[in-house]
Amino acid sequence: MHPVLFRIGSILIPSYGAITALGVLLGLALAQRTARILRVNSAKIWNLCILSLFAALAAARLLLVLANWSALRRHPVWLLGLGMVHHPLLAATGTITGTACAAWYARRNKLPFAATADAVAPSIALGLAFEQLGALASGSGYGIDAAPGFRLAVTYTNPLAAIWSGAPLGIPLHPVQAYAAMAFLAVGVLLYVWLPFERRRGDVAGLWLLGAGVTIYLTEMWRDQTGRGSLLHGALDGPQIAAILLVVAAALVLRDRKSPSQSTIPASPDASLPPSAAGRDPA
């Protein structure tokens, strides 16, 4: 594949960063659309997304600097290469920080929490689809060895794919990033289509948690396990544990939140009449 999208003199433009940035821009544009559908302040949704993105990136990079502080002190120029490092722990740190920042901003600006979560859910799915396409190009989060003759297999030959992402060179691999990209894109489309028909606020966000959890859990079966942690003697890896937590969170969000006194049976026609008219026989 192509870890470098193009060159400008001696400057390399990584495919991962460029494709992910495109996904972010498209996600921001989509968030403006979904905010208008849900009648949420689109300007505040824009600010929330931008602030959360910067918070997530800053937290992930700070963790990376702290983890490699001794090496960076000896070789400060390596700091410029940290943007090429991808790891599930960094993704988890950025996700938690970005979510916390978004919740803080929504509360501070009195945004309806459930509607805000519904508005950004399709955008997150779209952004992750492009992020996985960037990972496919760069070799990040590469798949396991493919069976001989597997037509969809990808083979990395550029040494930068090995240096930046640790991808093995010259070996046919499952294009698991493409599997994840297609799944996230399908989830995003379904969420967008479902928005006007949702029964109650928060359902779209709950469906996003469910779709993301299922996508991550299943696609991890085709990812190489190097550096992803393990549990139960390798039965589960770190992202799969996170995926299970996402599904549990989805169940909590999608549970029936109506009190017993609230009936799902439509009100009778007389309910719309004033008290003096309700139940009155026609003359």
Residues 54-76 have a mean pLDDT of 75
Q: What is the pLDDT of residue 207?
A: 93
pLDDT band at 279 (very low <50, low <70, confident <90, very high): very low
Q: Where are the alpha helices (DSSP H) in the chain?
A: 15-37, 42-67, 69-74, 88-108, 113-138, 159-165, 176-194, 203-219, 238-254
CA 108 to chain centroid, in Å, comes to: 24
Q: How far apart are CA 125 and CA 120, in angstroms?
A: 9
pTM of the model: 0.81
C-alpha dist (Å) from residue 261 to 203, 256, 258, 265: 21, 13, 8, 11
Residues 6+ apart with CB under 8 A from 128: 23, 180, 184, 212
State the average pLDDT for the chain: 81
Q: What is the pLDDT of residue 240?
A: 85
143-190 pLDDT tens trace: 999 988 888 899 999 888 887 778 889 899 999 999 999 999 999 999
Better pLDDT: 76 or 177: 177
16-53 pLDDT tens trace: 888 988 999 999 999 999 999 999 999 999 999 999 99
Q: What is the pLDDT of residue 45?
A: 93
- Token code pair at residue 273: 């009449």
A 10 A CB-CB count for 277 gives: 9
pLDDT band at 87 (very low <50, low <70, confident <90, very high): low
